[in-house]
Chains A and B, each alone.
Chain A
């Protein structure tokens, strides 16, 4: 694959991203084995994985773009559409449901003006449901970016989201 590092790919896959992906490739028996790591690397830099990046990663890993997209779309934490600056992962599994996560979702929707799967107009937040976050004794819980919030109440939302409120 002589075009692997083709300059035309650079916009879709930066030099830093390539370096990080190649570091992963060093640990595995064949290139496509790092598919998920590569997707996560690009997502860490750009927030999501665009079609252009996906195609560039696929070429770099000797895979077809369709095959890589089959992997990408399997995993709920690989974002194939743009997301806000911070993703809200709201647990809707059983212990959080018992403790009122549905009401919490309505509160968040009211405050940020977005439903599940949507991004605020100011692009600060995307709201997504997530599987049990392993903090069920502190239900209801959610993550905002990398941070876990426990025992979340309607009253604590203002503090968590600050002034990002209202119909944006």
Chain B
């Protein structure tokens, strides 16, 4: 075995789900046994030492996030762990792989995470369209109750945990963790003001941790094999492995688990097979639709949080979207802006009214109706809507990231649309 790839070791080439027996035969639920043999505080220390950062997009250190959960629970009320399986960031297709191919891995990770923060109820909040994954998870949870891995007194440890799948009803904003909590409470999915942070007052006012699928899939591996093992998996300062993906006009679009910090060039050229015949690379969003463009100049950078951040973008979800030379950059950004405008939850004005305005300006430019001053309008929108703090949540600033970087790297393409009163790539962009 050359590479140690813990997250996808049970992913079969045909993507058929790994069932309970095969999962356990391949070392499954050893991490759970290791965890309940330790104190929650010891588990937390290992996760902290591992330097695991959240894989949902923001990269927040997981151990630190958990450390804000109150561990003395005088009233004895519920504490919640929620798995964020809402995966709807445009261009992101990594959690689906983990959910459909290895449901027990997520469940084991969640039991270990819940034990660490001493949550007694866990939810998997899954987007409505992931029918197959939801079914597999429900079946796997039922098996775990039968085996005594869920429910009362798990494996005789005295620890009790209930787990349930909640299938959502649509809307991208549900992936934002406080909006997710609103939705789980049966309300419109409007994000909430922080503080109070969910760790202290989340679902139904109780301490709540929300973590991404991929984050949680790491937990039992870390607890079983240790922080040093996990740190050593990464090639750079960030630890572990990462599911990286490439979509767009490459020869072999896909999703692969690779060491954290794998160079971008290796991901695009080796794993994704390079550009499709007849297409040149012009740029790419490194981690989903709300990250800033990078260009071929950045190909030799390591795909990790720090390096991509320093290059002016974000690693986000780690799934790259390729802009090729036969696709119009204005049309590309317009598609994203229309998405964000549609998905605004409507709570705050700069987002609710600002994003449709940006989309309109982009549509004018793309359709050949653009004016020179539209460039200034877009720049002002980026400055105002993109500033953290001017909007109630991160959706709107995220929406501005592809636009602001497109204005930087593809400015002449915007200007050619305006001066020529037409899209040089013709009627509406991609073909």
Give A contacts to B, CB under 8 Å: 27-29, 32-37, 39-40, 70-71, 74-78, 89, 92-95, 97-100, 102-103, 130-139, 143, 146
Please give me the residue from chain B that is nearest to A132 by CB atom: B90
B 111-153 contacts with A by CB, 8 A: 127-132
Q: Contact at A137–B253, with CB atoms within 8 Å?
A: yes
Query: A77-B129, A102-B428, A131-B343 given. 7 additional CB < 8 A pairs?
Result: A94-B336, A95-B91, A98-B327, A133-B129, A134-B96, A136-B245, A137-B246
Please give me the residue from chain B that is nearest to A139 by CB atom: B247
Q: How far is the CA of A75 from the CA of B91 in the complex (A)?
A: 21
> Which residues of B have CB within 8 Å of A131?
88, 90, 170, 172, 339, 343
Q: How far is the CB of A162 from chain B (nearest CB, A)?
A: 21
Q: Contact at B204–A75, with CB atoms within 8 Å?
A: no
Please give me the residue from chain B that is nearest to A61 by CB atom: B186
> Which residues of B have CB within 8 Å of A28?
186
> Which residues of B have CB within 8 Å of A98?
247-249, 321-322, 324, 327, 332, 430
Q: How far is the CA of A137 from the CA of B249 in the complex (A)?
A: 10
Q: Contact at B169–A36, with CB atoms within 8 Å?
A: yes
Q: Contact at A135–B96, with CB atoms within 8 Å?
A: yes
Please give me the residue from chain B that is nearest to A141 by CB atom: B93
> Which residues of B have CB within 8 Å of A100?
430-431
Say whether, besides A136-B245, A137-B254, A94 and B91 are in contact (CB < 8 Å): yes
B 167-213 contacts with A by CB, 8 A: 167-172, 183, 185-189, 204
Q: Contact at A74–B171, with CB atoms within 8 Å?
A: yes
User: Which of the residues A71, A130, A136, A143 comes within 8 Å of B247, measured between beta carbons?
Assistant: A136
Q: How far is the CA of A70 from the CA of B95 in the complex (A)?
A: 30
User: Which of the residues A70, A95, A103 comes within 8 Å of B321, measured between beta carbons?
Assistant: A95
Q: Contact at A76–B186, with CB atoms within 8 Å?
A: no
Q: Is B280 an interface residue (CB 8 A)?
A: no
Q: Contact at B96–A70, with CB atoms within 8 Å?
A: no
Q: Contact at B131–A146, with CB atoms within 8 Å?
A: yes
Q: Contact at B171–A75, with CB atoms within 8 Å?
A: yes
Instruction: Find the residue from A28, A77, A98 having the highest chain B CB count within 10 A.
Output: A98
> Which residues of A have CB within 8 Å of B185?
33
Q: Is B89 an interface residue (CB 8 A)?
A: yes
> Which residues of A have CB within 8 Å of B90?
93-95, 131-132, 136
> Which residues of B have CB within 8 Å of A103?
431
User: Which of the residues B130, B321, B327 comes within 8 Å of A136, measured between beta carbons?
Assistant: B321
Instruction: Find the residue from B131, B188, B249 having the highest chain A CB count within 10 A.
Output: B188
Q: How far is the CA of A26 from the CA of B92 in the complex (A)?
A: 35
Q: Contact at A36–B186, with CB atoms within 8 Å?
A: yes
> Which residues of B have CB within 8 Å of A92?
335
B 303-339 contacts with A by CB, 8 A: 319, 321-322, 324, 327, 331-332, 335-336, 339
Q: How far is the CB of A151 from chain B (nearest CB, A)?
A: 10
> Which residues of A have CB within 8 Å of B343?
131
Please give me the residue from chain A that is nearest to B185 by CB atom: A33
Q: How far is the CA of A39 from the CA of B183 in the complex (A)?
A: 13
Q: Contact at A71–B336, with CB atoms within 8 Å?
A: no
> Which residues of B have CB within 8 Å of A29?
204
Interface 0/1 of B400-431, CB less than 8 Å to A: 00000000000000000000000000001111
Instruction: Find the residue from A40, A76, A93 having the highest chain B CB count within 10 A.
Output: A93
> Which residues of B have CB within 8 Å of A36?
168-169, 183, 186
Say whether, besides A27-B164, A98-B430, A100-B431, A136 and B170 are in contact (CB < 8 Å): no
Q: How far is the CA of A60 from the CA of B319 in the complex (A)?
A: 44
Say whether, besides A36-B169, A132-B89, A137 and B247 are in contact (CB < 8 Å): yes
